Structure 1
Amino acid sequence: MLTVIAEICVKPGRRDDVVAAIAELTPLVLKEEGCGSYQTLVDHQAQLPWKKNSPDSIFMLEHWESLRLLEQHLQQPHMETHRARIKDDVVDVKIQVLEPA
């Protein structure tokens, strides 16, 4: 099982709209072959000296059975529609694909 951590950096003030778009997308993704989980996370606003604050980021925590199925996920029509919907709100996307050590 692969773990994907994606950081979606959005324009200031646009995070809630992108989170709402992801919420609409999530049921479709969870039905895809190989998707073990698809969770949306946002920064917990705590003022701690050791914590990095990311108020304009959305983090996706995903689990996929294989790289092939993850790549198929990225090519799904609903993903293309979703990317087009949020493209004007997104500044950058950073993706990590991880495996157990």
Structure 2
Amino acid sequence: MIHVVAHVTLKRKTAPLFLREFRDLAVLVRQEPGCVDYFPAQDVDMALENQHLGPDSVTVLEKWASRKALESHLRSGHMRGFQERIKDIVLDTRLIIVEEV
């Protein structure tokens, strides 16, 4: 099982636009072979000392059955279209990709 955590930092106040585009994309992604889970999340303030909040960020959590399934997803036309539609509002994307051991 491959897990992906994508932390996306957005231009100020553009999270609603990103989420609208993402929800349309997610319908297609969840139908891809090997997609186990795929959803957006936003920070929850728990008032913890070491917690870093990002009001202008979205974290995408993904679970894939295999590396091959993730590679296919990354090459899909709907992913390329999504990236094109959001490119002007994304400031930074940081990926963590791990495999269960």
* CA RMSD after TM alignment: 1.2
Residues 1-101 of structure 1: pairs in structure 2 closer than 5 A = 1-101=1-101
Q: Any gaps of 5 or more consecutive residues in structure 2?
A: none
CA gap of 1:45–1:16, structure 2 versus 1, over 3 A, is farther
Identity, in percent, stands at 33
TM-score, scaled relative to structure 1: 0.93
Per-residue deviation, residues 30-82 of structure 1 (Å, max 9, x unmatched): 00011000011011134433311111111011001111210110111111110
Q: Which amino acid aligns with 1:39?
A: F
* Partner Cα separation in structure 1 for residue 91 and residue 52 of structure 2: 18
TM-score, scaled relative to structure 2: 0.93
Question: What secondary structure does 2:54 align onto?
Answer: coil
Q: Stretches of 4+ moved more than 3 A in 1?
A: 45-48
- Total equivalences in the alignment: 101
* Partner Cα separation in structure 2 for residue 4 and residue 61 of structure 1: 6
